[in-house]
Structure 1
Amino acid sequence: MAESNPADNEDDIDSLINCGICLSEMEEPKALICLHTFCVKCLKKVKHPPGQITCPLCQEDTLLPKGGIDGLRNNFFIIQLKERRAIRGTGEFKMQCTCCGATDRAAVARCVDCNGFLCQQCVDSHKPLGPLKGHAVYTIEELRSGKVEISKVGKIKCCQNHKDQILRFFCKTCGIPICHVCTVVEHSRPEHDYLTLESATEGQMQEIKGLLASCRDVAKRVDTAIKQDDKVKTELNSVMDKASQDLITTKEKVIHSFLKLIEDDYHSNSEKLQKIDAERNTTIDSSKANLSNLQAKLNNAMDMANQVLTSGSKHDVASNYTTLTSTLKQLKQAQVVTTSDDVSFVKFSPNRSEQVLKPLGHIREKTPTWQLQKEIGKDGEGKLSNGVGVAIASNGDIAVADFYTGEVKVYRRDGQYKLSLGTKQGIQLGEASHPWNVAVSHNQFYVTDATGFVNIYSLMGQYLKQFPVKSPDGISSDTYGSQLHGLDIDNDGHLLVGNRTKKYISKCTQDGTHISTIKVDIRPWFIAVTPMGRIAVSPYSSNTGVYVLDQTGKHIHTINAPKDAKSWHPTGVCCSDDGVIYIASFNTGDQGGIYSFTEDGEYLGCVTTDVTDAHGLAYTCDDGDDKLVVAQASGYPAKVFTFK
């Protein structure tokens, strides 16, 4: 930032001596702690609580001295600039005499030693008086003619408390210039420590120079940060335009099918894009506002520091030292925070299939990754001994079928144990002995176990009823030792129940009424229904794929092991709202993982390999974040992964 003397530029002088409130030339300028200066009359019009006032420009609070607004420090530098401007002018000189205080006599000269303007009568009084004979008095014409250097005029300041004494000392204790009488009276030693003004200002100027250099560095970083915000804003506008265009294009491709669903989804996504746009622009604008405010403070403080250093007197240095150095020190420590490039990341991801609940796709606000969020059932009353099946309720509760304890343990959204379904007392009515799997509707839990029954519980854990399912031959599952295992609720709200010892899946209502039986070519272990109504089934055998079937049980395709899988023994399977199929795999060497595929079997990627003896899987979209819960057997806790 180039240094200049504002006293040498008329435009700069105008900007300095004009009040920021009334925009006119300041009368009796008063400086706030932030160094912004206003007319005393304007400050008195600003509403403020007792004891402090807020700067109308930068909103920084200034504690008021005992005298209130009138007690604020006069900005002598502004006063001096006004005087110099009046001297430099070519028109009528309108400054009044500051010596005798007469308001009807215009000043015709200036006394350097008295540091004031003199009317003709006061000029005449200087000549005969002994103490005033040696004073340097210059007429206004002499000052304007250039015979006297204006910068040399008014360098000597007199004490406000002792009018006939020159300020020659600096009280380090109070941080103000003082006169000789002050050193004896108000600022006497040992309570006060003082030194000559000459000695004090030498060190003060060096300190101000150092702080000024540091603040210049901060100002450069602020400039860079503002440019970064502009860059991010430009990139955001670009990706917002692209995302919006992608959204419109995808809408036009599928507009002839599921028209109402498409329109609803389109408006939802559009509103989300607008919300993201507004929120992120607000974030950037807020950042820029903070940076601009900091920039303004830096510029103001640095300008004042430059003014003091380049054109101020020693008195100016000493008078502004305490406030100026305090402000510069604060600004030196200012944190310059830029807007992250992540703010400009927005992506519209079209769905691969048109026949889904979210036909157009999803908006990703940031680059997502799967992360382990928490473990549940690790210890305490709800400790899991052998988790197999898992389900997630609409309220966020997580239910895990614990095979060894004979219970289905329910945990709250935060992972804290809540309650259990079933008992440990054998195969009796209403008791889940060795539960395999669990599903949940809006108001009930459904549990499969070795009894050949589906057991129903309320969300509060109360046993309600149980019912068997039917084989393709009409044989009830409770008559021949069936082991009901796979369990899910389809898109119509019907239960699908798989028998892991027989090759069929039964469809029934949620109260147990039989609807139909679907013959399959494998023994179903875990079941998941996709948004398209397909049925993904993991077989009760190792090293085979997951079958994807239609509603009649017809085989569509098989999802086989992905190339990066270290082992492939598919167990748990679940499906997200946008048609992604998640499959858990394990082996005894703890080389298992969770993998994701499209409904058509295209491999999407590995969710995690941080699982041991993985079994049941459940998916939910909680507050906009995808979540997967995996049950782990052999005494390991269930794990919750979130896609953030």
Structure 2
Amino acid sequence: MASKLASDFDEQFLTCPICMLHFRDPRVLPCLHTFCRECLQVWATKQQPLECPTCRTRVSLPDQGVDGLRTNFYVNNLLDFAAVKKGSEPGVPCQVCEGGRDQTKVWCTDCAMLLCESCTAIHRKVPVTSQHELEGREGPDRLQRKRHCHKHKSQELVFFCESCNALVCTACTVVDHRPGKDHNPVEISTVAQRRRETLQGLLEDVHPRLKEMQASVKEVEKKMSNLNPAKEAATDQAKAYFRQLANLLQKREKEILSQIDDQCRADGKALQTKKEAIEFELAGLTSAQTFCQQAVEHGSDVHILEVGNQVQTRVETLLAKQLDLDIESNWSEFQFVENTAVKDFKDEVETLGGLKTDVDVSKCGVVVKPAVQGFQCSASLTTVNKGGHACVTHSRAVTTNMKDPSGESVPTKLQMERGGRWEISYVPMVTGNHRLEVKVNSQEVAGSPFDVTVQDQDTPVLTIGQKGSGVGDLDGPLDVAVDTGGTIVVVEQGNQRVQIFHADSGVCLGGFPVSGEGPYGLGVDSAGAILVTSLGEDCAIRRYSKQGALLNSVQPDCLCPSGAAVLQDGRMVVSDSAQGACLILEHDGSLIRDIGEGYLQFPSSIAVDESRGVIYVTDRFAHKIFAFDLDGNLALSFGRQGENDGEFESPAGVALDPAGNVIAGNAGDGRVQVFEPDGSFVRNVATATGKSARGVAVTPEGLYVAVACYKGHCVELYRYL
């Protein structure tokens, strides 16, 4: 790979992704991305914790900061090679005398400089530089800058101390790394060969994985290339389907309109015939009425006698004639009838057609998370294809419906996440059993509808442990912490051990015994290591891996280390309950400063808000929380002894939520309270089982508060946000 890059490398290998200029002192992050040292230093001041600008991987810098990162010497070689290539071009000056533009240049690998012919000759004569390696226009593999010892500047690094994992020079092997029990210097070539073989083995493992990933990319590209044809085919089918439905509706509309027209014509004709018959009889009766009225009003006696009988007979005949004057009995007004109501048809329309995907509804799974009244709660759905793998589908394929105990609907919101995972969120306003219905492609997933028990805010969503000494049991839990991965770490007084639990299920993930007479407090550093403070004659701060290996032990100058917190840079803050003070310590336990003397009586737990530079300390005897800045100055204190809101009964545990609010647990009565950063009371979270909240911790996203219930021999999780 190096030789290939040597022949055809381009500017991308020489350009820093941050400043977009040629690398200056290139440094490699643990994720193997390279940046200028100065660029990384600026980047680190803007971002805590530091993330790689390219891949966004979180990075833990060494104790020396950016300066402690490895130099990318291959990039330096490429830069040197670029300089040599440029030096071969006409008009490029010597980097020593700034002349010799028309001369051939050579490269000094020791000085990392281009030299003209004159300077090269001098370089070879001067005793100090006479042994320097001078190269012509070679590949980057030949232009290897020599590495010199930081302590012995003139000495080249030619040995590797395996005990110290450090490159050393010949002088170092005589002074600081003399071969023996503590040091084992070996020639670099020997160790490098072993490392090269190890890396070669890794490369052999990488190759099939790369092929697998490349094949996967091609498969994804193939799927992507099929998207538009599939879309066009599905679109054409959908349009044809709905055109048929529309045609059927239009045809039915025409039929109904035609029936209306026919009915109107038939009824019109019948009514016209009826009208004509009645009008004919009306005319005869009207005429007889007129004649009769004239005879009565104007006829003489003789005239009356002459026509009277005739008029009487005519009128009586007309009146006696049976006429059909009942219109309603022969015809009723017609109207259109909705055999299917629009509302019902709308419901039916929503089921007309659908999008068939590869989702196998029988294999889809739903996980219902603990639900608490008044909080946003959620369940997760994973859509799975027929091959049993999580797969993506369109949002309209998934429908959810929730009912509370009274049958009222609870609004739900569906949010698609990565890889076929969906979050179903809702806010229940009442407690009790709710029913959650989940459908994919109009089919209910297995287990639907799901029973969701909504609890009140004072009920723990999860209780971990019970009194005992077995795996997962707890005996007098004194403190609790949550690591960056969200697992819960608990230290027990009775069993003198640490146990680690899964935050969602409460399943014990492991545990280990701890040294010391009386384990007391917990802390978790940015690397995931667990700090345990212990009281008694062998009091110390011990740092363990998650597997229980003792990494190191610090015995600071304190009588009774209780609470502990770890800063991002690895410094520690420890409370000394015996001396009534807190100590800020270096990584190795050396004292930086003590704080709180004269204020603190019995400091217990510690929480640090590094963004604001504030240390919060609970004081069990003073029944207060004190806040100091990192220089040891008192910022504020709040609380007093009592049972009312904002008052304390022997405050023990303390933690900070993502907004910087202070969460405190009382060892005396078990209340867990929330305060603003200035000490203003906000609310009560809950009262711990056994009424003794000795330790509190907040999950990374701030959803839950974990409480170590000392007398209840358990850890309880309460909904917080």
Q: Fold conserved (TM > 0.5)? A: no
TM-score (norm. length: structure 1)? 0.37
Structure showing greater relative contact order (alpha-carbon pairs closer than 8 Å, 6 or more residues apart): 1
TM-score (norm. length: structure 2)? 0.33
Pair member with larger Rg: 2
